[in-house]
Amino acid sequence: MTAAPGFHTAAYDWPVSQDWPEPVSLINPEGASDVVLICEHASNHMPAEYQGLGLEEPDLTRHIAWDIGAEDVARRLSARLDAPLFVAHYSRLLIDLNRPHAAMSAFPELSESTVIPGNVALDMAERTRRIARIFTPFHARIAGVLNQRQATGRPTLLISIHSFTPVYKGVTRPWHIGILYGEAARAGEAMVAQLAADPALCVGTNEPYQIETDSDYAIPVHGDQRGIPALLVELRNDLIATSAGAEEWADRLAAVIPALAAEARS
């Protein structure tokens, strides 16, 4: 595997176990699709030594710890598109894989209105440990695959799958789905237009968040900086919290994404 500058490849410096799994799984690595999928917030797992970062068990099942339903949709979409999928295996409360290290939200002390005790006044040694064990291997694996695809001239459309809460700090969010993008406006606008053709859907353009280089990672680094069209899909988590909901949305996305991938080749 060839890693991008600044990344290390990987024999891990710690024993891989159920408590400390590999940071990432690559599902369907030989997938024939031009699409590559990422799910950074797939898991709410924390090694036992962290004692839930001082949170109660119910908090670790909330959106603050992971993107509910995102992995289920991503795996179904991978199968429908025959696309490679990178799935993360640690809670974003340990380190957010979609944040630059310097961002305050990379090691959140406060998530929504919940204090994360185990992240308060976190020292540099622990930050460095989490970066080395979780962040760097995760992104090195993605970078290696993208390097290989670019070296062989293989077209790529990068799509990151996330979910969001229907209510944030008391404010109701109307969108069923949001499509976020930076440089890939052509692909992003095309996806919004295709989804919005269904009058039953409320589709957000760069909602409920926006892509920003100081607070986002995958789309700017693996997409925009490489010249690869890259989109972030935000699904409202009450719509995909069940298998039936995940199935419905995977089908809906699978119906529109191939045309975007074909256009990216042109």
Q: Which has more pLDDT, 176 or 104?
A: 176
pLDDT at 170: 87
pLDDT at 266: 63
Distance (Å, rounded) from C-alpha 159 to C-alpha 178?
13
- Is residue 175's pLDDT more than 60? yes
pLDDT at 238: 98
pLDDT tens for each residue of 51-64: 999 999 999 999 99
**What is the DSSP annotation of 169-210?**
TTEEP--SEEEEESS-HHHHHHHHHHHHTSTT--EEES-S--
pLDDT band at 216 (very low <50, low <70, confident <90, very high): very high
Domains of the chain by residue range: 24-121+157-265
Residues 24-121+157-265, CATH architecture:
3-Layer(aba) Sandwich (3.40)
pLDDT at 169: 87
Distance (Å, rounded) from C-alpha 228 to C-alpha 149?
11
pLDDT tens for each residue of 26-53: 999 999 999 999 999 999 999 999 999 9
* pTM to 2 decimal places: 0.94
pLDDT at 186: 95
pLDDT at 208: 96
Question: What average pLDDT score do residues 226-254 get?
Answer: 98
- Is residue 3's pLDDT more than 60? no
pLDDT band at 263 (very low <50, low <70, confident <90, very high): confident
Distance (Å, rounded) from C-alpha 107 to C-alpha 110?
9
pLDDT tens for each residue of 106-156: 999 999 889 999 999 999 999 999 999 999 999 999 999 999 999 999 999
